[in-house]
Amino acid sequence: MGVRELRQDASGVLRRVEEGERVVVTVHGRPVADLVPHFETRPTWRPVTDLAALFPGVDDPHWDQDMSLVDGAPTDPFERDAHL
C-alpha cells in the first residue's frame, strides 16, 4: 500500500490491521514499513517468590541420615574453583 493511500484512509487501514491483516507500506513502490497487529506480551521474568514456590526445598525423609554418611561438606563440582 502506498503512503498516499495510507494517508487517505488511515483509520480504515488501522481497522484492517486490528482485525489481523498485515499491511506493507511503500514509498515509490519500495517497501518501507510493516503495519502488523499489536499483541500484548507477558513478562518473561517472575518474582522470586513465584520461583521459590516451584522449589520448596529438600523433601527427602532420609536427607539427614544420608548427610551423616558423608565424610565432609558437599561440594559443587561446577563451582569455579573446585578443580584448582
Give the model confidence (pLDDT) of 43-68 as tens digits: 777 787 787 778 777 677 888 888 88
What is the C-alpha to C-alpha distance for residues 9 and 82, in angstroms, rounded to an integer?
A: 67
pTM score of the predicted model: 0.47
What is the C-alpha to C-alpha distance for residues 66 and 74, in angstroms, rounded to an integer?
A: 11
Q: Quick check: 7 and 29 in contact, CB under 8 A?
A: no
Task: Give the three-state DSSP class for 2.
Answer: strand
Nearest Cα neighbor of 6 from 30, 23, 22, 28 is 23
